[in-house]
Amino acid sequence: MAKNRWGIIIGGILLIVMLMLGSFSIGIYLGRLGTNQEAPRDNAVAPPSIPPQNPLQEKVGEDIQVNNPDLVGRLKFVGKDGIQLTTEQGNKFIVVEEETRVWNWSGETLQLRDLRRYDILAVYGDFIQDDGRQLLANLIIRLPPRQPNNP
């Protein structure tokens, strides 16, 4: 009888210690997540708006989302009617008109002749005919060259 009693006491103490460690761990976890902040009040002032992360977005305006291009690829060649890109979906022909704007990633204006083979380009425009293989470009942005990954 005494053996069973000591077993129950030791088991109860272990159970209490495990519950205390678990609640302490949950408290630390929730504290790091930041869920212990005050709830917003009804009369609270809205936080200030976040400025655009990309300075090109201000230059482009609201009609084009700079972070969501219609096509991204490497320049294969520049022709008289447009350019051809190699993309993940295959080769795509981009129709370039007089109204098409060509910019560098920093926002400076470029000419079509400034683009070089293998440049990475982001193109914004409307797909036309031929099952989406041609795009009528409104804006072409030359992206910065990719940097090699650091080990």
pLDDT, one tens digit per residue, over 32-69 is: 766 655 555 555 555 555 455 666 666 666 666 666 78
**137, 82 contact by CB (below 8 A):** yes
Phi, psi of 100 (to 5 degrees): -70, 130
Q: Which of 39, 111, 116, 120 is nearest to 78 (CA)?
A: 116
With 70 as the cut, is the pLDDT of residue 24 above it? Answer: yes
Considering the chain, what is the average pLDDT of its residues?
78
Per-residue pLDDT at 74: 92
Per-residue pLDDT at 101: 87
Q: What residues contact 143, with CB distance under 8 A and at least 6 apart?
A: 72, 105, 119, 120, 121, 122
By three-state DSSP, how is residue 56 classified?
helix
d(CA 146, CA 74) in angstroms, rounded, equals 12
With a threshold of 0.75, does the pTM exceed it? no
Report which of residues 46 and 24 the model is more confident about.
24
Per-residue pLDDT at 33: 67
Q: What is the pLDDT of residues 121-133, one digit of tens each?
A: 989 888 887 666 6
Q: Which of 112, 124, 108, 120 is nearest to 147 (CA)?
A: 120
